Each structure stands twice: as structure tokens, then as C-alpha cells.
């Protein structure tokens, strides 16, 4: 079978499609014939050698995807050949062999049945994003109806799912973007308010939107020096959730800036939470209900063919997308 192999860290050109052995599933595993792969920023970081959970090279990338069960281990009773399934993050490690391939062996706890109302592309675009938003916002930060939430890097694959989840829970979203051309698209994607940080002052606009109170939560994958403005934009008792470091420069945080407002900072990495069986089950049930009700529906920014996986990574790095990037395997 064909699989994308990473033999040295670097740019998108380091992603090379090779012929590899198509292994049978080990005990407790299901082999999935991959139809669609959902790309994530974490995979770009892994490829560049900047991910905080190191892996020894060579490796296969890919945290999520959707397809059809091709084979099951003898001890697997919950899935049958032909079932439509999606792969979700289940722990600190990758799926057994990575989803950037025609086939992938996955532990049963890393599989969910694809809802009949969803295509493989939609399902591959959903689980990591909605689970991340649910765990970070609802479970960790205890967001509740009436809260106002700032979402930075709002055109990323988590932006639209965050808007939808917040609206579903009766909260208000403030999307932040540095691209003026994306303002209308973010509003169309479900954001209640959009701040163009290239032309508008973040702190002043948040205070204007919240009648001077400040936001309740900031949901941030960027980090870096910009954190100081998010702290200023939060109100008393506010919460800051860090789930990425797109800006690797030091964060400018002083203890006093936290103490005067009694702020709380949460760090978030979905893989750790998905190791908890109870959390994983609750999260899957929550996201499934949202999908079936129509409250959750991903936006797909662009599709690429498997042969163009390097181009897909290049497109992600360009920051042009709003929504999820999908790679299809025929």
C-alpha cells in the first residue's frame, strides 16, 4: 500500500509517498481503508520537528481520518468489515501507523461510527476539532451560557467548530483575524463578532462588545507576545486557554497582570484528555448529538488528492483557509 513517510524533519517536501507493507490488525485493532484525511496544525509541527511529543524517525503522520473497516482482529467484537468509521485522537501517540496512508491499523478505542448524515470528508473534518473545543471550553474552562469567548486564529480548523459550539451553548463568540479579506467569511461561518486585528485594537473592541466588562474566556493557539493583549481583554475572573504555540516567541505575562483580575490560565492538549475513558465517551456522545441535531457541521476549506499531500501542507502554512483541509484517497 501507499503511505506518506517522514524520514527527516523539514518543509512539506519532506513528505514522501512510499510503498510499505499493509500489516494485519494486531489484537484490539481494526484496519481502516482510509477515504479522507483531516489535516491538523499539530502534524505540520511534527513534520517540522517542533512538536512537543517527539517521535523517532522515520514516522507516518496523521491523527484523524475516515473510511471503511477493512479487517478486524479476532478479539474485536464492536466493529465489522464494511462499517463506516472515523479515527479520533486517543492518546499522546499517533494512531498505530498514522492516517496519511491507504490503510491504518487503529485501536478500537480510537474509532467512532461515522453518522449516516455525514460524508467521509465531513467526518474526517469533525472529531478532533469538536472534541478539542468541547474539552477545552466546557470541561476545562467550565464555559456556560452567557459567556463571551475570544477565539484567536479564528480561520483555523477549530474556529468554525468553536463558533458553532458556543452558539449551541448560548454563548457569544468574538473571532480574531489578521486578514481583512476573511472578516465577512468568518461572520458567514457563524462568528457573532469579528475583530480585524490588522486595523482594529483588540482590547478596545472587546471592551466595546462587552460594554466594558471584558471577555470571560480567550481560546488561543498562538501564544507569543500577543498574550498580553488577550489578558488585557479579559474581564475579572477571566480564563485563558492555550492550546498551541503558533508564535514561538516568549509570552509576556506578569504575575500582577493575572492577580489584579484573578485570571486563570489553562493549557490544553487533546491527546491527554482522550486517554480518560469516561471523558472520551462523554465527548463522543456530546459531539454525536451535536452532529445529529444539525448544530455541528464542519466547513471544508479545500480538498487535495493524496498525491498532493505536500501541497496540502503548503496551503495550510499559507493561512488562507477558513475551516478544515481534507486529503482524499481514491
- Containing domain of residue 222, as a range? 131-269
Regarding whether 79 and 46 lie in a shared domain, the answer is yes
Question: Rounded to an integer, what distance in angstroms lies between the CA atom of residue 99 and that of residue 39?
Answer: 10
Regarding whether 239 and 315 lie in a shared domain, the answer is no
Regarding whether 167 and 53 lie in a shared domain, the answer is no
Residues 319 and 29 sit within 8 Å (Cβ to Cβ): no
Q: Is residue 230 part of a domain?
A: yes
Residues 314 and 299 sit within 8 Å (Cβ to Cβ): no
- How high is the pLDDT of residue 1? 96
Q: Is residue 86 part of a domain?
A: yes
- How high is the pLDDT of residue 95? 45
Regarding whether 321 and 250 lie in a shared domain, the answer is no
Regarding whether 219 and 204 lie in a shared domain, the answer is yes
CB atoms within 10 A of CB 48: 15
Q: Is residue 48 part of a domain?
A: yes
- Looking at residue 91, the DSSP 8-state letter turns out to be S
Q: Is residue 280 part of a domain?
A: no
Residues 59 and 98 sit within 8 Å (Cβ to Cβ): yes
pTM of the model: 0.94
Residue 79's nearest CA partner among 90, 63, 68 is 68
Residue 28's nearest CA partner among 100, 109, 107 is 107
Regarding whether 154 and 40 lie in a shared domain, the answer is no
What Rg, from alpha-carbon coordinates, does the chain have? 20
Q: Is residue 74 part of a domain?
A: yes
Instruction: Find the helix packing angle between 159-168 and 277-293, rounded to 10°.
Output: 80
Regarding whether 317 and 225 lie in a shared domain, the answer is no
Tens place of pLDDT for every residue, the chain, 330 residues?
Answer: 999 999 999 999 999 999 999 999 999 999 999 999 999 998 999 999 988 876 788 989 999 999 999 999 999 999 999 999 999 987 655 545 689 999 999 999 999 999 999 999 999 999 999 999 999 999 999 999 999 999 999 988 899 999 999 999 999 999 999 999 999 999 999 999 999 999 999 999 999 999 999 999 999 999 999 999 999 999 999 999 999 888 889 998 999 999 999 999 999 999 889 889 899 999 999 999 999 999 999 999 999 999 999 999 999 999 889 999 999 998
Question: Rounded to an integer, what distance in angstroms lies between the CA atom of residue 213 and that of residue 33?
Answer: 51
Domains: count for the chain: 2
Regarding whether 139 and 77 lie in a shared domain, the answer is no
CA–chain centroid gap for 182, Å, is 19
Q: Is residue 277 part of a domain?
A: no
Q: Is 93 left (phi over 0), alpha (psi -120 to 50) or beta?
A: beta
At residue 133, the 3 state secondary structure works out as: helix
At residue 86, the 3 state secondary structure works out as: strand
Regarding whether 72 and 182 lie in a shared domain, the answer is no
Regarding whether 248 and 163 lie in a shared domain, the answer is yes
Q: Is residue 51 part of a domain?
A: yes
- Looking at residue 123, the DSSP 8-state letter turns out to be H
Element (H, E) at 272: helix 270-274
- How high is the pLDDT of residue 52? 80
CATH of the domain at 256: 3.90.180.10
User: Which value, to the nearest 10 degrees, does the dihedral of the CA atoms of residues 205, 210, 215, 219 take?
Assistant: -60
Q: Is residue 158 part of a domain?
A: yes
Question: Rounded to an integer, what distance in angstroms lies between the CA atom of residue 280 and that of residue 274?
Answer: 5
Question: Rounded to an integer, what distance in angstroms lies between the CA atom of residue 94 and that of residue 142?
Answer: 28
Regarding whether 137 and 111 lie in a shared domain, the answer is no
Amino acid at each position: 500500500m501507499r503511505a506518506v513517510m517522514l524520514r527527516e524533519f523539514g518543509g512539506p517536501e519532506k513528505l514522501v509517498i512510499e510503498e510499505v507493507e499493509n500489516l494485519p490488525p494486531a489484537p484490539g485493532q481494526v484496519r481502516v481503508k482510509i477515504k479522507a484525511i483531516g489535516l491538523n496544525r499539530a502534524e505540520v509541527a511534527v513534520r517540522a520537528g517542533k512538536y512537543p511529543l517527539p517521535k523517532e524517525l522515520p514516522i507516518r503522520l496523521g491523527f484523524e481520518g475516515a473510511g471503511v473497516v477493512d479487517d478486524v482482529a479476532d478479539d474485536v467484537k464492536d466493529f465489522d468489515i464494511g462499517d463506516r468509521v472515523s479515527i479520533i485522537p486517543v492518546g499522546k501517540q499517533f494512531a498505530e501507523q498514522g492516517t496519511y496512508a491507504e490503510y491504518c491499523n487503529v485501536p478500537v478505542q480510537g474509532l467512532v461510527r461515522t453518522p449516516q448524515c455525514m460524508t467521509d470528508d465531513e467526518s474526517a473534518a469533525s472529531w478532533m476539532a469538536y472534541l478539542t473545543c468541547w474539552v477545552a471550553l466546557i470541561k476545562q474552562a467550565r464555559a456556560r451560557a452567557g459567556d463571551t469567548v475570544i477565539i484567536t486564529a479564528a480561520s483555523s480548523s477549530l474556529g468554525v467548530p468553536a463558533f458553532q459550539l458556543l452558539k449551541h451553548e448560548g454563548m457569544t463568540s468574538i473571532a480574531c483575524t489578521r486578514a481583512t479579506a476573511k472578516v465577512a467569511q468568518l461572520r458567514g461561518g457563524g462568528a457573532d463578532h469579528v475583530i480585524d486585528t490588522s486595523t482594529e485594537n483588540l482590547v478596545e473592541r472587546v471592551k466595546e462588545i462587552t460594554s466594558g466588562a471584558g471577555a470571560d474566556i480567550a481560546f488561543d493557539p498562538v501564544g507569543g507576545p500577543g498574550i498580553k493583549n488577550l489578558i488585557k481583554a479579559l474581564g475579572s475572573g477571566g480564563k485563558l486557554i492555550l492550546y498551541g504555540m503558533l508564535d514561538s516567541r516568549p509570552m509576556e505575562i506578569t504575575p500582577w497582570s493575572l492577580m489584579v483580575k484573578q485570571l486563570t490560565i489553562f493549557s490544553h492538549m487533546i491527546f491527554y484528555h482522550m486517554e480518560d475513558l469516561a471523558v472520551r465517551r462523554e465527548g463522543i456522545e456530546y459531539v454525536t448529538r451535536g452532529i445529529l441535531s444539525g448544530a455541528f457541521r464542519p466547513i471544508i476549506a479545500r480538498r487535495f488528492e493524496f498525491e498532493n499531500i505536500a501541497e496540502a501542507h503548503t496551503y495550510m502554512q499559507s493561512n488562507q483557509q477558513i475551516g478544515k483541509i481534507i486529503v482524499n484517497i481514491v
